[in-house]
Amino acid sequence: MKGTIQNREKFLNQISARLGHNDISNSIPQRSWKYHPQDEVLTDTSPDQLVEVLKTQCLKIHTSLLSANLDNLAATLDKIVTDYGGGPVVTWKDQRFSEWGLDRLMKDAWPKENIEVHEWDYTQGAENIRYAEKANIGITISEITLAESGTVVLLSDKDKGRTVSFLPACFIALIPKSSIVPRITQAARIIRQKHLDGHRVASCINFITGPSNSADIELDLVVGVHGPVKATYIIIDDI
Amino acid sequence: MTMKIGTGDFKERVDQGIHDSFMRGAVAGAQERMGTRRNDAAEELGNWEDWRSHGEEIRQHVLEHLDYYLQQLSENIASRGGHVFFAQTGEEANQYIQDVVKRKNAKKVVKAKSMVTEEIALNDCLKQAGCEVIETDLGEYILQVDDHDPPSHIVVPALHKNKEQIRDVFAERLGYQKTSKPEELAGHARLKLREEFLSADIGITGCNFAVAETGSFSLVTNEGNADLVTALPKTQITVMGMERLVPTFEELEVLVSLLTRSAVGQKLTSYITVLTGPREEFDVDGPEEFHLVIVDNGRSQILGGEFQSILQCIRCAACINTCPVYRHVGGHSYGSIYSGPIGAVLSPLLGGYEDYKELPYASTLCGACTDVCPVKIPLHQLLHKHRQNIVENTGQAPISEKLAMKAFGLGAASPSLYKLGSKIAPAAMNPFTQGDKIKKGPGPLKAWTEIRDFPAPNKERFRDWYKNRDKGGNQ
Amino acid sequence: MKVTLFATCLVDMFQSNVGKATVELLERLGCEIIFPESQVCCGQPAYNSGYVRESKEAMKRMIRTFQNAEYVVSPSGSCVAMFKEYPHIFKEDHEWGLLAQQLAEKTYELTQFIVDVLHIEDVGAQLNGKATYHTSCHMTRLLGVKSAPMILLNNVKGLEYTELPGKEQCCGFGGTFSVKMAQISEQMVDEKVTHVEETGADYLIGADAGCMMNIGGRIDRTGKPIKVMHIAEVLNSR
């Protein structure tokens, strides 16, 4: 459904006049930049070196970083969940959990240990948010991971609720090693290219860098304000 | 004028600021910490000057094509089902938002920190519509709980308050019973605000940068409050200053990188959220209805004029964090929600010289602000332009100063008058001179000598010495 | 080498010692000094207060005065920065704009001239004691002269140098700011003086007469045992 636009003409005419454009069609811009500083940052770096950059950065953003392969991923994840005090757990509905061999853990082992697991299910509507609000841990997957800043990029859709990453007290992001890029520059280009290729931009793109925090009181850092209090990333060796 | 804060005239506010020793300690400490972090974050990149130049060229380009990009943005938002309202004035923006609130029969609004909504005094208008408004940024929340104490810094709004004051306010207003430890105070706010997020009807945010090509907009926070404001309520309203946009994601990335490094010295903040339209079909969270209100409120009058570069501003507060005047007088002295060098340039433009004529003079033109600006706004030159305007166009300059400057113009342009003046100066100053110092000077020297000595004019000027020396009289 | 001296009005009237030291120093370094009598003030006090029209007359006078000079050298970073601003101020005026450009290009601050033009890093000065140095805002930020004074001071025999804490912070002078916003200026200069004291220095060295009058005036008023010296005087000490 198309939205509405109100009061535009007069508003933009005034701007055009101030800029000395006869009308907007005189204003079609050519973007050509003299400077490209972003292309000099971490661009000659191998995937293994990027993992090292990411590890170092995680120390600065109060985030634990673990590495796993497909053989020990389940055990690694299980341990973190236990360390975080168990469930309830809320996860996206994502085929990849299954492909990475996590079904037994999430659908079998945890329920048996009384760790409640809720997989996002859009047919249940707002019920999902209530689960997320109650949950101790939220688990998501990073689509693009930024080594420089230690950032995971999450794209929302009907199976990937936004609140899985904000409402629970603890946040776990699974990071396929192949998703790691130098910095936000590459992520921006990937996202833009998808748009130019005719794909819809996700309604919510989250660049998340560690747990939530604030320095609003006497500039003292408090970790854990409105979003998660703790965060862990697990790099999965999929290359 | 709605961006106006505080009472009294400029001198009274400065006096109050200077005597607020906690605030001054807090500001000095903040300037040192934020300044160091900013420097480290900039240096770490190794090519910071290129980043600044790139930031500048992007912002200049957007301003030069603002009409085009705003049209493109609004088309793309509408095609994703969002509603766009162009508001020429703050009143128009407030009226539109009030209408949405009424139509939704909303009783509770949660807000993420936004300078432009402060500028148009949106909260007052929402309250008139019978709405409860809750600020969710921790700093803004503290100020709100404390009877709407105005913000003193555009990034750290409650910088002027110490934790004991905050504890007392929480105890009195919220029944808080724990200590003044920041984590306990923040924990309490988390608990209180969680309920508000979940029960709010409408979420209102500002906008760091909109992206014209995709009809998106971004929010930059560390607390994650903007995410909850935009994920939970059924209706979302975003208010943006009309200049706050970029062409594509590629430029968004650059400006966000400049913003987070300059504002808080972080490579990226914890939450950078880019939203496009309302929720998609079958999405469970995110708003069902999305409104973008694009506000002019005096900005178009700046466009195309000699102050256009101030619209490049990305609200990082680096200039505030380095300004030696802000350091001593604090944010409230500026009498505007926009303080520091950016405030001293912007407030007279948006609010008029009548209210803000002193601000351009509250600077030594030391240029520290210009040096740190990530988008290269020549702030100290704009302050100078204001002075020139005040002198030449407003008639607000003091008469005594005008006369003095007229005399200066004559004297300095005429070597013979200058020579005569400087020659008789020692005699003229004689009654005020003790040894080689003037300790209590007349006229404009009075203010100087109230706190410092002034050197007595040399009986033998340099030029006299030089002349005599040429004649072989002095070596 | 012929050097035309732009003494500045503050030095001419209030700090003739600085002018003398500049002349003696440059002569010792092999320069021939010319001092045109018709020089007045660079116009900065009026210009910075917003009186652009009034200040332009002084600027034109200065442009004419130095028109035939080979090098113009001045012991004040701020005043040199003002000369550098002239082309911008006269950019609408073709004739004066061109002359302003010529003046800007041949004008140097004293230490900059010694290091960059004369290529001298050790002037053979000696001064015993602890010193700190105030980096003036206009000299460092607007003019961009940062290293030259440090290079020269490092080679002064007997001088023990300590960096000034918060050195990049303005001292609160700002021309008419110091009287127009006296209350704020006081706070700024007080913080500067506190920092100077923290270094334990015997000498506070500077390269701008305005800043030195401000900090020095406050030091004198509060009776601190710190001597304020212009860098020309230091470099002329033997």
Query: Per residue in C161-206, pLDDT tens?
Result: 999 999 999 999 999 899 999 999 999 999 999 999 999 999 999 9
Q: Look at residue B471 in the predicted model and tell me its pLDDT.
A: 66
Q: Do B408 and C54 touch (CB under 8 A)?
A: yes
Helix (H) or strand (E) holding B418: helix B415-429
Q: In chain A, what residues touch B166 (CB-CB under 8 Å)? A: 217
Owning domain of residue C229: 121-235
Q: In chain B, what residues touch C185 (CB-CB under 8 Å)? A: 364, 451
Among chain C residues, CA nearest to B415: C38
Based on the domain organization, do C141 and C206 belong to the same domain? yes
Based on the domain organization, do C189 and C209 belong to the same domain? yes
DSSP string for B149-202:
PPPSSSSSTTTT--HHHHHHHHHHHH---S-S-HHHHHHHHHHHHHHHHHH-SE
Place of tokens 């350091």: B327
Based on the domain organization, do C57 and C138 belong to the same domain? no
Among chain C residues, CA nearest to B436: C14
User: ipTM value of the model?
Assistant: 0.96
Helix (H, G, I), strand (E, B) or coil at C236: coil
Among chain C residues, CA nearest to B389: C50
Burial grade of B194 (CB within 10 A; 0-12, 13-18, 19 or more) = middle
Based on the domain organization, do B416 and B292 belong to the same domain? no
Q: Do C23 and B466 touch (CB under 8 A)?
A: yes
Phi, psi of B415 (to 5 degrees): -55, -35
> What is the Cα–Cα distance from B116 to B100, expressed in whole angstroms?
18
Peptide bond connecting A228 to the previous residue in cis, omega within 30 degrees of 0: no
Based on the domain organization, do C6 and C112 belong to the same domain? yes
Place of tokens 């035309």: C4
Based on the domain organization, do B256 and B138 belong to the same domain? yes
Closest CA to A212 of A181, A168, A179, A155: A168
Among chain A residues, CA nearest to B92: A7
> What is the Cα–Cα distance from B221 to B227, expressed in whole angstroms?
9
Based on the domain organization, do B264 and B411 belong to the same domain? no
To the nearest 10°, report the CA torsion of B381, B385, B391, B393. Answer: 180
CA distance B8 to chain A (A): 27
CA distance A111 to chain B (A): 25
CA distance C92 to chain B (A): 14
List residues bridging with B205 in a β-sheet: B238
Q: Do C12 and B445 touch (CB under 8 A)?
A: no
Q: Classify residue A71: in a domain, yes or no.
A: yes
> What is the Cα–Cα distance from C54 to B34, expressed in whole angstroms?
40
Please report all neighbours of A, defined by 3+ CB atom pairs within 8 A.
B
Q: Look at residue B382 in the predicted model and tell me its pLDDT.
A: 98
Based on the domain organization, do B288 and B403 belong to the same domain? no
Based on the domain organization, do B237 and B106 belong to the same domain? yes
Q: In chain A, what residues touch B250 (CB-CB under 8 Å)? A: 185, 188-189, 192
Q: Look at residue B472 in the predicted model and tell me its pLDDT.
A: 58
Based on the domain organization, do C134 and C196 belong to the same domain? yes
Contact (CB, 8 A) for A208 and A220:
no
CA distance B168 to chain A (A): 14
Which CA distances in Å does A195 have to A198, B79, C78?
Answer: 5, 14, 52
Based on the domain organization, do C164 and C83 belong to the same domain? no
Contact (CB, 8 A) for B465 and B474:
yes
In A61-201, which residue ranges form alpha helices assigned H by DSSP? Answer: 73-83, 95-99, 103, 110-112, 127-134, 184-196
Among chain A residues, CA nearest to B66: A15
Closest CA to C149 of C215, C230, C210: C230
The structure tokens listed for A182 are 């130098």
DSSP string for C90-116:
TTT-HHHHHHHHHHHHHEEEHHHIIII
| Number of domains present in the structure of chain B | 2
Q: Classify residue A34: in a domain, yes or no.
A: no
Q: CB pairs below 8 Å between A and B: how many?
A: 314
Please report all neighbours of B, defined by 3+ CB atom pairs within 8 A.
A, C
> What is the Cα–Cα distance from A194 to B79, expressed in whole angstroms?
17
Which CA distances in Å does B82 have to A6, A76, B247, B279?
Answer: 12, 43, 19, 10
Residue B134 Ramachandran class (φ > 0 left, ψ -120 to 50 alpha, else beta): beta
Distance, C-alpha B84 to centroid of its chain: 26
Q: In chain C, what residues touch B422 (CB-CB under 8 Å)? A: 9, 12-13
Phi, psi of A65 (to 5 degrees): -125, 125
Q: Do B232 and A16 touch (CB under 8 A)?
A: no
Please report, rounded to a whole number, the percentage of residues in chain C having pLDDT higher than 70.
Answer: 100
Based on the domain organization, do C169 and C87 belong to the same domain? no
> What is the Cα–Cα distance from A133 to B403, expressed in whole angstroms?
69
Q: Do A158 and B284 touch (CB under 8 A)?
A: yes
Q: Look at residue B474 in the predicted model and tell me its pLDDT.
A: 44
Q: What is the DSSP letter of C142?
A: I
| A42 interfacial to chain B (CB closer than 8 Å) | no
Q: In chain B, what residues touch C232 (CB-CB under 8 Å)? A: none
| Number of domains present in the structure of chain A | 1
Which CA distances in Å does B186 have to A5, B109, B113, B199?
Answer: 40, 21, 16, 20
Burial grade of B121 (CB within 10 A; 0-12, 13-18, 19 or more) = middle
Low-confidence ranges of chain A (pLDDT < 70): 26-27
Contact (CB, 8 A) for B454 and C3:
no
> What is the Cα–Cα distance from C189 to C195, expressed in whole angstroms?
10
Q: In chain B, what residues touch A7 (CB-CB under 8 Å)? A: 85-88, 92
Phi, psi of A231 (to 5 degrees): -145, 140
Based on the domain organization, do C98 and C51 belong to the same domain? yes
Based on the domain organization, do C151 and C205 belong to the same domain? yes
Based on the domain organization, do C68 and C130 belong to the same domain? no
| Crossing angle between the packed helical segments B399-413 and C52-65, to the nearest 10 degrees | 10
Q: Classify residue A14: in a domain, yes or no.
A: no
Q: Classify residue A222: in a domain, yes or no.
A: yes
Q: In chain A, what residues touch B87 (CB-CB under 8 Å)? A: 7
Q: Classify residue B460: in a domain, yes or no.
A: yes
Distance, C-alpha A238 to centroid of its chain: 19
Q: Classify residue B138: in a domain, yes or no.
A: yes
The structure tokens listed for B284 are 């469970």
Which CA distances in Å does C4 have to A173, B421, C28?
Answer: 69, 23, 15
Q: Do chains C and A touch (3 or more CB pairs under 8 A)?
A: no
Burial grade of C102 (CB within 10 A; 0-12, 13-18, 19 or more) = middle
Of B85, B190, B303, the CB nearest to A7: B85
Contact (CB, 8 A) for B246 and B211:
yes
Q: Classify residue A19: in a domain, yes or no.
A: no
| Number of domains present in the structure of chain C | 2
Closest CA to B358 of B369, B344, B370, B346: B344
The answer to whether the Cα torsion of B284, B221, B359, B9 is positive or negative is: positive
Q: Point out the domain boundary residue: C116, C139, C160.
A: C116
> What is the Cα–Cα distance from B104 to B86, expressed in whole angstroms?
20
Q: Look at residue B444 in the predicted model and tell me its pLDDT.
A: 76
Instruction: Give the E-state strand segments of B201-351 in sequence order.
Output: 202-205, 209-211, 216-221, 235-241, 245-246, 271-276, 289-295
Q: Which of A19, A54, A217, A230 to mutate to test the interface with B (most CBs of B within 10 A)?
A: A217
> What is the Cα–Cα distance from A87 to A81, expressed in whole angstroms?
7
Q: In chain B, what residues touch A207 (CB-CB under 8 Å)? A: 268, 271-274
| Crossing angle between the packed helical segments B249-264 and B21-45, to the nearest 10 degrees | 130
pLDDT (tens digit, 0 to 9) for every residue of chain B, 475 residues total?
Answer: 478 888 788 999 999 999 999 889 989 999 999 999 999 999 999 899 999 999 999 999 999 999 999 999 999 999 999 999 999 999 999 999 999 999 999 999 999 989 999 999 999 999 998 999 999 999 999 999 998 888 888 888 898 899 999 999 999 999 999 999 999 999 999 999 999 999 999 999 999 999 999 999 999 999 999 999 999 999 999 999 999 999 999 999 999 999 999 999 999 999 999 999 999 999 999 999 999 999 999 999 999 999 999 999 999 999 999 999 999 999 999 999 999 999 999 999 999 999 999 999 999 999 999 999 999 999 999 999 999 999 988 877 777 778 778 777 777 777 787 788 888 888 888 888 888 888 888 877 888 888 899 998 888 899 999 988 866 544 4
> What is the Cα–Cα distance from B333 to B160, expressed in whole angstroms?
12
Q: Point out the domain boundary residue: B234, B264, B297.
A: B297
Distance, C-alpha A193 to centroid of its chain: 18
Residue C219, domain CATH = 3.40.50.11810
Owning domain of residue B154: 65-297
Q: Classify residue A162: in a domain, yes or no.
A: yes
Q: Classify residue B365: in a domain, yes or no.
A: no
Based on the domain organization, do C39 and C99 belong to the same domain? yes
Residue B128, domain CATH = 3.40.50.10420
* Residues in CB range of A49: below 8 A, 6 or more apart: none
CA angle A171, A176, A179 (to 5 degrees): 105
Residue A53, domain CATH = 3.40.50.10420
Q: Classify residue B344: in a domain, yes or no.
A: no
Closest CA to B380 of B328, B324, B336, B332: B324
Predicted TM-score (pTM) of this structure:
0.95
Burial grade of B201 (CB within 10 A; 0-12, 13-18, 19 or more) = middle
Of C37, C46, C168, the CB nearest to B405: C46
Contact (CB, 8 A) for B224 and A226:
yes
Which CA distances in Å does B65 have to A6, A30, C109?
Answer: 20, 10, 42
Contact (CB, 8 A) for A110 and A139:
no
User: Considering only residues 63 to 92 of chain A, which have any Cβ-Cβ distance to chain B shorter than 8 Å?
Assistant: none
Q: Look at residue A26 in the predicted model and tell me its pLDDT.
A: 65
Distance, C-alpha A237 to centroid of its chain: 19
Q: Classify residue B332: in a domain, yes or no.
A: no
Q: Do B182 and A220 touch (CB under 8 A)?
A: yes
Q: Do A16 and B67 touch (CB under 8 A)?
A: yes
Contact (CB, 8 A) for B47 and A42:
no
Which CA distances in Å does B81 have to A7, A237, B74, B277, B377?
Answer: 17, 40, 11, 6, 36
Contact (CB, 8 A) for A208 and A170:
no
> What is the Cα–Cα distance from A211 to A229, expressed in whole angstroms?
6
Q: What is the DSSP letter of A157?
A: B
Owning domain of residue A119: 41-236
